[in-house]
Amino acid sequence: MARKYFGTDGIRGKIGRYPMTPDFVLKLGWAAGKVLASTGHPLVLIGKDTRISGYMLESALQAGLVAAGVNIRLLGPMPTPAVAYLTRAFRASAGIVISASHNPYDDNGVKFFSGKGTKLPDSIEEEIESWLEKEFKTVSSDELGKVERAKDAAGRYIEFCKRALPSDVSLKGLRIVVDCANGATYHVAPDVLRELGAEVIAIANDPDGLNINDECGATHVQGLQETVSRYRADAGIALDGDGDRLIMVDQKGQMVDGDEILAIIAHHRHADGKLQGGVVGTLMSNLGLEKAVEALGVPFYRANVGDRYVIELMEKHDCDLGGESSGHIIVRDFITTGDGIIAALQVLRAMRATGKSLHDLKQVMLKYPQTLINVPTRQKINLNESESIQSVVRQVEEVLGSRGRVLLRASGTEPLIRVMVEGEDAVETKALAETIAEAVRTAA
């Protein structure tokens, strides 16, 4: 069954435009409640990021759930991974996050976690969608759900994060800048680091409902780079609006992306004998990450782009470590989804254990130059069946050999073909990418 509303990360859109309207979210809460109600009188947790629209959607969502007979505990502003963790800790039937992650403040979305803290299976999302087509009916008054606010949800998550470091490991002596993106981590990330002993300089930690991800956070690290350099900090941590994405900055002010973070954690875990099952990246992961992992003698797997697909492949191959270049890092033996704070603590642990700087640690991976060209198309092209394109791709792959790779994929949201070429030489890589792009333009 093709899903009408659910994408790879819940339902998302511009506030005030269908489906991100109060009436739709009311019905969504009711539909989800009807599906969950089959398990008895369920408990659902609701968390949100700091967008001004979160209050409106939270009210609509809880009204729909209550009308279906579901009990609710409100978590308030809370990182997405915190909701995943707390759903398991509270033994809830499901967790819901109101967030549009790294998007601008005027977007928002609703995503669900199962009682195990994992993304909902496709079958459950499809069942929710089927209820959206049915008539809204409120249960009888004696069956209505109840709503209460969860006590010390932030404190419970802070303690959970701290357990990601062994009790004998302290961050004392480290000066760390943390950019909270004016989002859901503003009241937890600085406290986690301080309670572990670090000297913390927090920036973008004063949300007003409109400034989430605004020139800050994991998608805009320039402010973090400047602050790390100004305060001569040992490291910078950039989280996104809902806290499931991490980009770091080393003591020289240089960015450390998701691929480099994965390489650092993988090497440290391998040295400790704790790298389980290999590492999962995506089709867009840098070739340097693949080679860095394979140098350890463990497999590297590539999933489709999207943390949902990364997690699926991690489960299939029983891997504890996976993620995306954008900074979604899943440390599966700690948490069931991407968690920026947990991932950052793994890197800081490696710094502490080795005595090396973040700049030195990231040298375990040689980043290959990468050229990405978006080619607009007037019509749909079957890339595999286009001999003119495939002939050029084969020629380029022959030139690169084991020194690089080629990736062509159609955009899922725009009439574009994405041409990506990686190689050891930046000039050669760009020229080869242009060669393939021209073949795509001709075929289009």
Separation of alpha carbons 20 and 183, rounded Å: 19
Q: State the catalytic residue, choosing from 53, 93, 101, 325.
A: 101
Q: For 364, what's the count of Cα atoms within 13 Å in the CB-facing half-sphere?
A: 27
Name the phi and psi angles at 329, rounded to 5: -115, 125
Q: In what order do the strands lie in the sheet with 405-410?
A: 370-376, 416-422, 405-410
Q: Is residue 101 annotated as a catalytic residue, yes or no?
A: yes
Separation of alpha carbons 77 and 99, rounded Å: 10
| Catalytically annotated residues | 101
